[in-house]
Amino acid sequence: MKDSAIKTVRRIAMVGFDGIQVLDVTGPLEVFSRAGRLLVERGETAAPPYEVVLAARHAGPVKASSGLALVASATLAELGEVDTLLVSGGVGTRAALQDELLLEWLATHAPRARRYGSVCTGALLLARAGLFDGKRVTTHWAFLQELAALAPGARIETDAIYVRDDRLWTSAGVTAGMDMALAMVEQDWGRRLALDVAHQLVMYVQRHSGHSQLSAMLAAQSSSAEGQFRRLVGWIHDNVAQDLSIECLAQRSDMSIRNFSRRFHEETGLTPAKFVEQTRFEAARRMLAEGDDALEKIAGLCGFGSAETLRRVFVRRTGMSPAAYRLRLQREHAPVTALAAPRGL
């Protein structure tokens, strides 16, 4: 549902510093910019409803880790009112963690925005600024332990591509920031616009927060990139409802059960049974996040056989039932009903 309260320009500010990751900045900001242009083209708004800006301690070039430079058009001191404040990540996070003035500014100004959050290792800065206590958060999988050390009072989601906890949003690395930005556009203007933006940006799909950072498919593909099971893992991913018993998989690979089991584990790092369960679990998470099918139907389509088997797997892996998991995601993606006063033109 489109949020009729959004009638004038809302400033989307990305906080940058030397050593930023370019995609952490440009990916999310392009999502907002493209959404605004689409609304104008359709005649739904007279002018783009979002203004995107890169802000830093000092105006001017901000060096990125790739060697490119982005231009900060505003200093933090002159940024003014902000609707959505995001902190980018990158290798420069290490130095930024020692920037006391930046941390003090974040601690004071981030909570004043209607929404605030981070992309990738930008989460470390918000944690160091003391903004994560009691909050559900995430970051890039490689920095989860560091985040836990910086924010011992936070509830860290280790496998989510992004997490929304009321006004606080955090995402995993790089492209996950675009998924988070799409969710923010959906929150403001509805799912149709978010999907159209994803289509224009040639994104494979608008990934929900229920998608995994470390999918079994990607891990297996990485491990078996040059191995004999690279086609098999793709087939399993596309056929989760089929008979994926070790006997059938071994026969499909034209190997004995014992040899298949040993070689598959050596190549992918997972036993066939664990890989199949993980793949089916991820498929079920996506269906719970993206639709309203009954649990029995999801269990069948994902190869679990029964809703009770699906429930046992979810409780063991997430600590909650599939129904509770779906309810939490629905609450996270509920539209905002009351917005702060927008910044005028």
pLDDT in tens, 264-285: 998 888 899 999 998 999 889 8
Same domain assignment for residues 167 and 226: no
Total structural domains within the chain = 2
Residue ranges making up the domain that contains 307: 216-331
* Inside any domain, residue 345: no
Nearest residue to 217 via CA among 286, 288, 311, 306:
286
Same domain assignment for residues 165 and 226: no
168-171/162-165 β-pairing: antiparallel
CATH of the domain at 312: 1.10.10.60
pLDDT band at 207; cut points 50, 70, 90: low
Same domain assignment for residues 128 and 192: yes
Q: What is the mean pLDDT of residues 207-226?
A: 53
Report the pLDDT value the prediction gives residue 1, as an integer from 0 to 100. 40
**Rounded to whole angstroms, how far apart are CA atoms 278 and 251?**
21
115-119/168-171 β-pairing: parallel
* Inside any domain, residue 340: no
Same domain assignment for residues 222 and 322: yes
Type and span of the H or E element at 164 = strand 162-165
Report the pLDDT value the prediction gives residue 173, as an integer from 0 to 100. 81
* Inside any domain, residue 343: no
Quickly list DSSP for 64-112: BTTS-EEEE-EEGGG----SEEEE--STTHHHHTT-HHHHHHHHHHGGG
**Would you please indicate which residues are annotated as catalytic (active-site) residues?**
120
Q: CA separation (Å) from 118 to 66, 87, 125, 178?
A: 20, 5, 9, 11
Contact 337, 6 (CB under 8 A): no
Question: Three-class SS of residue 220?
Answer: helix
Contact 90, 68 (CB under 8 A): no
Same domain assignment for residues 19 and 150: yes
Q: Which two tokens stand for residue 189?
A: 């203007």
Report the pLDDT value the prediction gives residue 18, as an integer from 0 to 100. 97
Q: Mean pLDDT, the chain, as a whole number?
A: 88
Same domain assignment for residues 95 and 235: no
Domain boundary, last residue among 186, 212, 238 = 212
Residue 179 DSSP symbol? H
Reported as a single tens digit per residue, the pLDDT across 324-341 is 988 877 776 665 543 333
Report the pLDDT value the prediction gives residue 331, as an integer from 0 to 100. 74
Reported as a single tens digit per residue, the pLDDT across 107-141 is 999 999 999 999 999 999 999 999 999 999 999 98
Q: Which two tokens stand for residue 60?
A: 């001017």
pLDDT band at 342; cut points 50, 70, 90: very low
Same domain assignment for residues 123 and 80: yes
CATH of the domain at 200: 3.40.50.880
Domain boundary, last residue among 212, 228, 250 = 212
Report the pLDDT value the prediction gives residue 335, as an integer from 0 to 100. 59
**Rounded to whole angstroms, how far apart are CA atoms 17 and 69?**
11
Reported as a single tens digit per residue, the pLDDT across 218-245 is 555 545 545 688 889 889 988 999 999 9
**Rounded to whole angstroms, how far apart are CA atoms 8 and 127?**
32
* Inside any domain, residue 50: yes
Q: What is the mean pLDDT of residues 294-320?
A: 93
Question: Three-class SS of residue 338?
Answer: coil
Nearest residue to 255 via CA among 228, 235, 234:
228
Angle at 254 between CA 251 and CA 258, to 5 degrees: 70
* Inside any domain, residue 341: no
* Inside any domain, residue 324: yes
**Rounded to whole angstroms, how far apart are CA atoms 249 and 246?**
5
Reported as a single tens digit per residue, the pLDDT across 159-184 is 888 999 999 999 998 789 999 999 99
Report the pLDDT value the prediction gives residue 219, as an integer from 0 to 100. 55
Report the pLDDT value the prediction gives residue 205, as an integer from 0 to 100. 52
Report the pLDDT value the prediction gives residue 218, as an integer from 0 to 100. 55
Same domain assignment for residues 152 and 273: no
Same domain assignment for residues 134 and 85: yes
Domain boundary, last residue among 187, 212, 237 = 212
Reported as a single tens digit per residue, the pLDDT across 10-48 is 999 999 999 999 999 999 999 999 999 999 999 999 999
Report the pLDDT value the prediction gives residue 231, as an integer from 0 to 100. 85
Same domain assignment for residues 89 and 206: yes
* Inside any domain, residue 3: no
**Rounded to whole angstroms, how far apart are CA atoms 214 and 232?**
19
Same domain assignment for residues 158 and 21: yes
**Rounded to whole angstroms, how far apart are CA atoms 158 and 141?**
7
Same domain assignment for residues 189 and 237: no
* Inside any domain, residue 61: yes
